[in-house]
Amino acid sequence: MPPVVPTSAAVSAPTQTDLLDFVRRTAADTELIASLPLDPEGRTWVRLDGPAGSEAWLIGWPPGTGTGWHDHADSVGAFLTARGELKENSLAARLPTDGWRTLELTEGVDRERRLPAGRGRAFGRHHVHEVLNESAHEHAVSVHAYYPPLPRIRRYSRTGQVLRLEQVERPEDWQ
């Protein structure tokens, strides 16, 4: 009797490493990177097909733009600068996931990374960060991937060591 072969293979969820590999390969596609329309005033983006059901984006950053403090809730992710340079400020602390509006951060939780073209990083669930293009003259372009697809983004304001939850966005707010 011949062996039973399943008609469809189960696809496993992509890991942070898988997502980082994807953004690295995608950022190397110079034709794709050059195809992103760039706006001198606001960020631009195009949705991409990510691996194994992940959500992926190609994002253009005009000089002086940024995301503000936010997290990606229950999604893991990765991003990589394809052109220009981005700066990531992040918190090296796990925040409570729900039930708070204002939180006083302890000293020493701030991290800063410079991400020139070809550099990126992966991150876990509830990673709080902001991403900035601090260049005065040059656009940056980056590739991002998240799994599971973003269920929500929580946006924060920050004054000194005080972080305040300002808004919760759902996919219909940015698609």
Question: In the chain, what are the domains?
Answer: 16-169 (2.60.120.10)
Flag whether pLDDT at 5 surpasses 60: no
> What is the tens place of the pLDDT at every residue in 56-104?
999 999 999 999 999 998 999 999 999 999 999 999 988 887 788 999 9
Flag whether pLDDT at 10 surpasses 60: no
Q: What is the pTM of this model?
A: 0.89
Across the range 132-159, mean pLDDT stands at 96
Query: Which residues lie closer than 8 Å to 13 by C-beta, 6 or more apart?
Result: 52, 53, 147, 148
